[in-house]
Amino acid sequence: MNNSYLDMDLLRFTTAGSVDDGKSTLIGRLLFDTKSIFADQLEAIEETSKRKGKEYVDLSLLTDGLRDERAQGITIDVAYRYFATPKRKFIIADTPGHIQYTRNMVTGASTANLAIILIDARKGVIEQTYRHSIIASLLNIKHIVVCVNKMDLVEFDQATFEKIKADYQAFAKKLEINDVRFIPISALLGDNVVDKSENMPWHNEGTLIQVLESVNIDADINMKDARFPVQYVIRPHSTQFHDYRGYAGRVESGEFKTGDEVVAMNSGLKSKIKSIDFSYKSIPSAFAPMSATITLEDEIDISRGDMLAKVGNEPKAGQEIELMVCWLNEKKLQPNGKYIVRHTSKEAKCIVKNIDYKLNISTLDKVEDDKTIGANDIGKIMIKTSSPLFYDAYKVNKNTGSIILVDEFTNETVGAGMIL
């Protein structure tokens, strides 16, 4: 495979819109216009489009195979699609738009750099637009592209687009999203998706693919707070590596260099980095999201679940932790319920000490008179863990600020949490 392709930047994005906003058509158009579909796929959808009596190639059929699978009783939570242009690689997380699939959107959007919010030009900003945007904000997605779709059905009218833009901006002031862009498109006809629209010469802020190719995501990774959760302790006990003790894991944020003074989070003992090993050789530094093995100058008792951090810039350590939780399970969250918590490489038991409120994810209002948190609900809770977690706030560091809750009897993942 071409090395330049392997070295290309990767953008993960999610799409959100209500049922008839044209999400499937938009994804199909992106794949088609970037020449990311095979000839036999194209032939198949051309054949199906003719059979259905359509005068055009129905690009939504590229993604609607999933609906057939749902109809057969197969649950598909999130579908991932891959494509590339000469400038960037992309992974699309395609999630359902219904309110009963909030948990699916949270799953798909949790790793996304950017979210595309689709709005039907005829309907304008609706309740689902608010909900999708609020979830994107909660998940700390730093880039939003609002695609006002079906502009062909409002005769490519600029005033309609400007009104929707103004309505969304008024609402977005409540959210902590600084980078919001607006593009008028017609996914059906291809206007402003990959090719610039001749029908909307008044829009000069780029097509969707130009925005996706150029949005700067380098600053999204926290390079300030160095965090290294230990996944595995390497002790070969061989003749060649008789005294070798290495700590393997992934740099979740920041950068570590040989000679850095670090602290082992659990014991609080300090040492200096002796070497950073990667792929059978030593390297001078490792930065997020690299996997590496770190050795220290001193022998310190470190095990899986502990964390290395730079002295003077340690994460918080605590057992009573407040978080926003998205509940994923049909069985409701139990007050005083016991669960397993998984955070970075650490696993511990926990108890739900308090449910503060449930969040109305269409208005951002706190619901304090009904604290029942069931499937697809989001609420603020406090948990107490059996041993300390080493964490940062989710807003500051996604990787060390996210946890999952697991049912200790069924081993099902029941909740996804964002530490406050």
pLDDT digits (tens, 9 = 90+) for 355-406: 999 998 777 889 999 899 998 889 999 999 999 999 999 999 999 999 999 9
Using CB atoms within 10 A of its CB, is residue 51 exposed (0-12), middle (13-18) or buried (19+)? Answer: exposed
CA distances from 145 to 80, 188, 232, 295, 386 (A): 19, 18, 40, 43, 42
Contact (CB, 8 A) for 252 and 397? yes
Q: How many CB atoms lie within 10 A of CB 39?
A: 7
Backbone angles phi, psi at 67, to 5 degrees: -65, -35
How high is the pLDDT of residue 51?
A: 80
The structure tokens 């005829």 sit at 122
Which one, of 347, 367, 342, 339, lies nearest residue 355 by Cα? 367
What the chain holds in terms of domains, given with CATH numbers, is 3-219 (3.40.50.300), 227-310 (2.40.30.10), 316-419 (2.40.30.10)
- With a CB cutoff of 8 Å and minimum separation 6, the contacts of 2 are none
pLDDT of 218: 85
Decide: 252 and 344 in contact? Cβ < 8 Å: yes
List per-residue pLDDT tens for the chain, 420 residues long.
Answer: 455 666 788 999 999 887 777 888 888 889 888 888 877 777 877 787 778 777 777 776 666 554 554 444 433 467 788 899 999 999 998 877 666 677 778 888 888 999 999 999 999 998 888 888 888 888 899 999 999 999 999 999 999 999 999 999 998 888 888 899 999 999 999 999 999 999 999 999 999 999 999 999 988 889 999 999 999 999 987 777 778 899 999 999 999 999 999 999 989 999 999 999 998 899 999 999 999 999 999 999 999 999 999 999 999 999 999 999 999 899 999 999 999 999 999 999 999 999 999 998 777 889 999 899 998 889 999 999 999 999 999 999 999 999 999 999 999 999 999 999
Q: Helices 127-138 & 102-109, crossing angle to 10 degrees? A: 40
- From residue 369, alpha-carbon distances to 134, 339, 359, 365 in Å are 21, 25, 11, 12
Closest C-alpha to 25, from 51, 61, 1, 55: 61
Contact 304, 263 (CB under 8 A): no
Scanning 85-182, the segments in alpha helix (DSSP H) are 102-109, 127-138, 158-172
